[in-house]
Amino acid sequence: MARSEAAPALTLIPADDARRIVAETPPVGRERVTIGAALGRVLAEPFKAPADLPGERRAVMDGYAVRGADVRGASAGWPVVLAVAGTVPMGEVFPRGVGTGEAVAIATGGWLPAGADAVVMVEHTVSLDGGARVEISRAVTPGANVVERGEDLARGAAVLPAGRRLRPQDLAMLATFGVTSFDVHRRPRVAVLSTGNELCAPTETPRPGQVRDANQTALGAQVTAAGCDVTYGGIIPDDAYTLRRAITRMLDEHDAIILSGGSSIGTKDVSADALADLEAPGILFHGIDIRPGKPTLFARAGSKPVVGMPGFPTSSLIVFDAFIRPMLWRLGGEAARDPWPARRSARIGREHRSVVGREDYLRVRLVEREGALWADPLPGGSATLSNVVYADGLVRVDAAVPGLAAGDPVDVLLY
């Protein structure tokens, strides 16, 4: 099990354990929003249908409301002729019922007059005598072309669970019932900052030995895409005291802090020191058995996650998607959600050797070849940024899998 390391080794925990630990993040509080500002917000209370939907029987076709019994046996050869008692005015109710031998013209969405139980599509009718009578050439059974009261939803039905990130159709449902303000979770406020003596801002020209800070931009974008508000905390030198002060200050006004760089255990890796005396429970793990992204640090100060991401931008990007994005969803109140909703089946383009116990994330490009879809692993390790840029997605090689042979079926986790 022991792997030889020059420096003292991180204590790696299995990826599954890391997922379990980050999933224990409690959600932020709630606030009230109006429906126009609710897209993408996370519902704090379950929503149950407050009434039947629709509230009345309605036509789902343009045509004539009839009593099904009156048109039984009607056909093109033997049409039935009914007296037209009038028209259901749109947005109003027909003032009387439909009697035997009668029909009432109706448009889609119109409330069915009392007595009628079906709608004959206008295509199966011919208006006679200037609209006074109608010839019906198709039989309809009761309920045809009609949506019954409560057919869409019965009053009390569970419609939207608490923890649902609201989609346009969810808002349509709330609007239908006149629910125009409701409680959602606050958007988590997340601070991102970079650590490293060698870093300069993207707006600066690096001196020899310097590199531009890419992670703050990347993490800020990922945090925003995960539905959180981001604060950019700047670049902090490799000094535990300075970093600790920056973190302590940010904890006051943020729900989570994500730093990158210095998360390993070299002499310039000060993140663990900086997090050492956070409020309990403090550091929950330091090192995950994954590639890339092994030196990932996760702590909680009270209920607030503090994450130390690996320094290489590619590692940070992948660890975020695999572990931190689901954590932020939970922080934002979202109930358990598939971390990789978009997947495609493909065959791996070449052999990949892994180690049992370690979870790997391959950057792959999707290519059609010989009538099949192939996931070709892109060259380069964690120090290579172009491979995540060229990648269409990731292939996760589970911890129990020793490797992949060329042509093995894989699930591509799409970007």
Give the footprint of ligand AMP on this chain (CB under 6 A).
194, 196, 198-199, 211, 213-215, 260-264, 310-313
Partner whose binding site includes residue 263, from Mg ion, ligand AMP, none (CB under 5 to 8 Å by kind):
ligand AMP
Smallest separation, CB 253 to Mg ion (Å): 26
Name the DSSP class of 68.
Answer: G
Residue 333, Cα to own-chain centre: how many angstroms? 12
Q: Which is nearer to Mg ion, 5 or 253 (CB)?
A: 5
In contact, 388 and 314? CB cutoff 8 Å: yes
Q: Does 196 bind Mg ion (CB under 5 A)?
A: yes
Place of tokens 């008692």: 85
Residues touching Mg ion: how many (CB under 5 A)? 4
Smallest separation, CB 4 to Mg ion (Å): 23
Distance CA(255)–CA(187), nearest Å, equals 9
Burial of 313: CB neighbours in 10 Å, binned 0-12, 13-18, 19+? buried
Distance CA(391)–CA(362), nearest Å, equals 9
Q: Which is nearer to ligand AMP, 269 or 392 (CB)?
A: 269
Structure token digits, residue 84: 């037209």
Smallest separation, CB 206 to ligand AMP (Å): 10
Single out the residue of 71, 70, 57 nearest to residue 113, CA to CA.
Answer: 57
Q: Which is nearer to Mg ion, 113 or 196 (CB)?
A: 196
* Contact map string, positions 284 to 323, toward Mg ion, x by CB under 5 A: ---------------------------x------------
Q: Which is nearer to ligand AMP, 149 or 244 (CB)?
A: 244
Name 160's bridge partners.
47
In contact, 122 and 61? CB cutoff 8 Å: yes
Distance CA(403)–CA(390), nearest Å, equals 23
Smallest separation, CB 292 to ligand AMP (Å): 11
Partner whose binding site includes residue 377, from Mg ion, ligand AMP, none (CB under 5 to 8 Å by kind):
none
Place of tokens 């990130």: 165
User: How is the beta sheet containing 80-87 ordered, strand by strand?
Assistant: 118-121, 63-66, 102-106, 80-87, 133-136, 125-128
Cα three-residue angle 87-90-96, rounded to 5 degrees: 45
Partner whose binding site includes residue 321, from ligand AMP, Mg ion, none (CB under 5 to 8 Å by kind):
none
Q: Which is nearer to Mg ion, 163 or 311 (CB)?
A: 311
Distance CA(256)–CA(327), nearest Å, equals 10
Partner whose binding site includes residue 264, from ligand AMP, Mg ion, none (CB under 5 to 8 Å by kind):
ligand AMP
Structure token digits, residue 356: 């049992």
Partner whose binding site includes residue 387, from Mg ion, ligand AMP, none (CB under 5 to 8 Å by kind):
none
Partner whose binding site includes residue 313, from ligand AMP, Mg ion, none (CB under 5 to 8 Å by kind):
ligand AMP
Q: Residues 225 to 284: which contact Mg ion by CB under 5 A?
A: 261-262
Listed ranges 25-33, 156-164, 189-197, 360-368: which one lies at the site for Mg ion (CB under 5 A): 189-197
Single out the residue of 293, 25, 74, 66 nearest to residue 185, CA to CA.
Answer: 25
Q: Which residue is nearest to ligand AMP (CB)?
A: 311
Partner whose binding site includes residue 188, from Mg ion, ligand AMP, none (CB under 5 to 8 Å by kind):
none
- Phi, psi for residue 268 in degrees, rounded to 5: -90, 5
In contact, 292 and 382? CB cutoff 8 Å: yes
CB atoms within 10 A of CB 390: 15
Q: Which is nearer to ligand AMP, 49 or 270 (CB)?
A: 270
Smallest separation, CB 276 to ligand AMP (Å): 17
Q: Which is nearer to ligand AMP, 125 or 194 (CB)?
A: 194
Place of tokens 């259901």: 88
Q: Which residue is nearest to Mg ion (CB)?
A: 196
Smallest separation, CB 305 to Mg ion (Å): 21
Distance CA(186)–CA(389), nearest Å, equals 32
Partner whose binding site includes residue 260, from Mg ion, ligand AMP, none (CB under 5 to 8 Å by kind):
ligand AMP
Q: Which is nearer to Mg ion, 103 or 265 (CB)?
A: 265
Please give the residue ranges that form the binding site for Mg ion (CB under 5 A).
196, 261-262, 311
